[in-house]
Amino acid sequence: MTRKALVLFSGGQDSTICLAWALQRYAEVETIGFDYGQRHRVELDCRLKLRSELMANFPWAAHLGPDHLIDLGLLGEISATALTSDAEIAMRDDGLPNTFVPGRNLLFLTLAAAIAYRRGLSVLVGGMCETDFSGYPDCRDETIKALEKATNLGMERDFEFATPLMFIDKAGSWRLAAALGGDAFISLLCEHTHTCYLGSRDRRHAWGYGCGDCPACELRARGYAQWQEERL
């Protein structure tokens, strides 16, 4: 393990799994998060707790490096979506959910690359998933590969954009989490990550905290149930 990585770390289930995945593969791992006025801003509070829990309880997290939090409030101001306002979650006329924040992942990866350039990190790790991508075009493998090529051309670097969850469903992500850290890591995901679009943490389910009704909660719950069935 000689390469160094920067993980896009939101405080959600997927990005936490990606962080564990990276910590077991790269010599140095740093994290980056973005405050873009998201409705579920509570995820930013989860990030520091998760980092602390990982370093305290998992030996493979001992080389977890600095965290970077970027203010992207402008993105929230220019994107009238259900993730950046109190709008009811619904499908738009163009077939995309109104939780889609245009340009979000493109900006995240571009800014992460700028940080990685300065920090000498060559791998950018993100939790984008084409299997459960909820209709988000910036979560597709084709999009990520195109942005990787453009970034490398524009920065004269050889970055790798790694997306370990790209082709697995939510049940598969629970399975991967168990392989990475066993029951202890599963417990951490359930207790300390946040994925609910509405930012609700007043209801504890078997799979973690959330409203239980938004698309993110429904997807997480369904994947957890499928994974549990596999274990019987």
Do 160 and 124 meet the contact criterion of CB atoms below 8 Å apart?
yes
Beta bridge partners of 70: 34
Do 180 and 174 meet the contact criterion of CB atoms below 8 Å apart?
no
For residue 211, CA distances in Å to 199, 200, 215 come to: 8, 5, 10
- The residues, any chain, with a CB within 8 Å of residue 71's CB and separated by 6 or more, are 35
Do 6 and 125 meet the contact criterion of CB atoms below 8 Å apart?
yes
Q: Which two tokens stand for residue 118?
A: 């300065």
Q: What pLDDT sits at residue 119?
A: 97
Q: What pLDDT sits at residue 232?
A: 75
Ramachandran quadrant class, 182 (left: phi over 0; alpha: psi -120 to 50; beta: rest): left
Question: Is 4-231 a CATH 3.40.50.620 domain?
Answer: yes
Q: What pLDDT sits at residue 33?
A: 95
The whole-angstrom separation of Cα 67 and Cα 1 is 20
Can you tell me whether residue 127 is helix, strand or coil?
A: coil
Q: What pLDDT sits at residue 194?
A: 93
Q: What pLDDT sits at residue 96?
A: 64
Beta bridge partners of 71: 35
Do 98 and 113 meet the contact criterion of CB atoms below 8 Å apart?
no
Q: Write out the chain's pLDDT in tens, 232 residues.
A: 789 999 999 999 999 999 999 999 999 999 999 998 776 678 888 999 999 999 999 999 999 999 999 998 776 676 766 556 566 665 666 666 656 667 788 989 999 999 999 999 999 999 999 876 566 888 899 999 999 999 999 999 999 999 999 999 999 999 999 999 999 999 999 999 999 988 899 999 999 999 999 888 999 999 999 999 998 7
